[in-house]
Structure 1
């Protein structure tokens, strides 16, 4: 159907792409100009697609839209039954057990909780195992249920105020570990329960590092929920920094590191907004903070360190859609080895995004193959990696199409 002005009516068929795009954009609280800017296009282009003046975009553009709008399945955009979950994984086999542990409520008459020192040692072991394992979700998924229950019990059974605060700090950090497991899996309500419980336990602990860690992860959850939540991400980040800053002159390396991680988070969100100067200014501040840490220091939760700043620079450039700068920063960052396997895999994915932005799809695929080697479970749950692979699986270059299809099979987005 066409209107009197000759413009196709997007509402004559409730399943057309343009209408779906408009609904999803408005749900995220984004203007056409904002969406166009995040896509590297214009608000006029978005309007033309929504009103039907332009046809449905190519697959690579649809995938980019899905990334920006955090669309979980392409069916929401296209109306076709395309079983591609970009941001929510298929659900780890251990997700149900972890969820049960999070949702349980321990009573005082349960079996006695382990001492705080014992819980601390188990939590440290879990973080170490996460960094070393290529199948890190499987490893921490096996440890989390008992760790969550015991940490919950330790809080409930604590008799003295100081003992209870220590237990709350451990419980909060246990929820931090849990958030790494739950992220990008198909249970958003569970993710937010974990975030909120981590924040509450951290506040009850009165421990600066626990408070900083919980805020750092809460800010990430808000930012990854889309542009409508960027202000909430900034609020959490800046409130936490305002609390920590007066403590820094006499702070431990662990507290200095979480302040540095939060400073970079402020830059990360600014980069998502395409605020170039603000993003790089926060990165510079975070780099200066990293330089005040021992060269060998590597934070077991945030990965904040001197070694990670090159990877952070790649992330800023990629989020700013600066392809050439992304590649330049990736070349500089490659001189440093990141100790954590999942964090190294994530860095490779960011590098691949940079190569894709710079028009180097073969380099992007080669880099994603390195990400798979470092930590297969990281790439399996990463929407950006899936988007690149699926786009190149339709390449007109046979060799590239074959490489992308083989990688798609390995990570489980295409059937063998």
Structure 2
């Protein structure tokens, strides 16, 4: 092995600072960017990486893990006793069946595909179930294998070009539903297969709304892969916004909504970069799109609507690490009319992040309790929620430690 080969951060012995530097470099992140995300100086980061400062205390370690999108805390600490999943949640019991359905390619079969209208109704019911069920992964995980197989068959057996385009749109929709199930589970390669196949099927459908949904999910997958992938997220996002622009004057509500959702996603990525002006500018343009929708409209995939813009404002403020602004936006947001249980839970998690940034740990835990009531599986698979619970379990306040420990047990982080 050459002397300049990149060391493996998972091989012992490697000091904490070295692991931090290796993981930061692999993410394509500069010391200045990491320092900004942590509220530290670039000199502090350099001293930790160089071993001149000891490993920080757990709350700071967790923030480093969050910034570097570390899947398991032991990857950063080197201590296998701290093997706690952060941004990769537990593997769901239904994941193997969903994986098998996605990986299969029917080329010859004696089974007849269901009518497209029937498949469309089943997909609509699956989306409705995802929004209404507290354990939504379990529900859609049971539905997905047959939906994927039948949509694949519909494409294979289409009798006309029009039917084939329609079937490709339904297959893309099935892949979109799959991405919600697979996200934050321990199979990144499967996630990317779904993202790419969803985009290809969407393009084959030639349907603007289907293309917008697939692009929205692809942008999220790129952004959640870390700082080095933000440009890729912007590329697919902004290209799709440009593609949809000519359709907007006479667009349906669904097309208007996906165009608005894409604009917010561009702001979300800007906020992750720390670009305050761009983040809020895109939020403003997304809100203008939401105002064009009926008051009771709610997009079946993205949850884009008028009420969700308040939740989006909290997210922008949190990603900009503005604790006071996060709390102010949380107080101003009227999210009681959001019908989706997982989306309400996600908003509560964002509230919890904001309250913790503002130094209100007890209120943050209360917000996570509300998130758990809305959709337990959303909390169980969310890295931000797990990081807050771990940090508050180290609180000097006995009641906060107790409440955090109880929540850790409920979401499966610790054994009862």
Q: Name the TM-score class by shorter chain.
A: over 0.9
CA RMSD in angstroms comes to: 1.1
Moved over 3 A (4+): none
Q: Superposed, which structure 2 residues align to 1:357-396 within 5 Å? A: 357-396=357-396
Partner Cα separation in structure 1 for residue 108 and residue 295 of structure 2: 45
Match of 1:96 in 2: 96
Residue 66 (structure 1) aligned with residue 100 (structure 2): no
Deviations 1:378-402 (A, max 9, x none): 0000000000001111212111100
Q: Which moved more, 1:392-401 or 1:198-207?
A: 392-401
Match of 2:42 in 1: 43
Deviations 1:26-56 (A, max 9, x none): 0001110011112222211110110112111
Contact 2:335/2:344 (<8 A) preserved: no
Partner Cα separation in structure 2 for residue 296 and residue 111 of structure 1: 41
Partner Cα separation in structure 2 for residue 125 and residue 43 of structure 1: 51
What's the CA shift for 1:409? 0.2
Match of 1:153 in 2: 153
What's the CA shift for 1:14? 4.0
Deviations 1:2-33 (A, max 9, x none): xxxxxxxx9xx842100000000000011100
Contact 2:72/2:83 (<8 A) preserved: yes
Q: Superposed, which structure 2 residues align to 1:81-120 within 5 Å? A: 81=80, 82-120=82-120
Match of 2:188 in 1: 188
Q: What is the DSSP-based 3-state SS (H/G/I as helix, E as strand, rest coil) of the residue aligned with 1:239?
A: helix
Tell me the TM-score normalised to structure 2 length: 0.96
Match of 1:346 in 2: 346
Partner Cα separation in structure 1 for residue 57 and residue 43 of structure 2: 17
Q: Superposed, which structure 2 residues align to 1:196-211 within 5 Å? A: 196-211=196-211
Match of 1:5 in 2: none
Tell me the TM-score normalised to structure 1 length: 0.96
Q: What is the DSSP-based 3-state SS (H/G/I as helix, E as strand, rest coil) of the residue aligned with 2:89?
A: coil
Contact 1:108/1:157 (<8 A) preserved: no
Partner Cα separation in structure 2 for residue 309 and residue 75 of structure 1: 36
Match of 1:56 in 2: 55
Paired positions, count:
405
Partner Cα separation in structure 1 for residue 32 and residue 352 of structure 2: 27
Partner Cα separation in structure 1 for residue 263 and residue 133 of structure 2: 28
Residue 277 (structure 1) aligned with residue 273 (structure 2): no
Deviations 1:66-122 (A, max 9, x none): 111110111111110112000111100000000000001112433010011000000
Q: What is the DSSP-based 3-state SS (H/G/I as helix, E as strand, rest coil) of the residue aligned with 1:415?
A: coil
Contact 1:108/1:153 (<8 A) preserved: no
Match of 2:304 in 1: 304
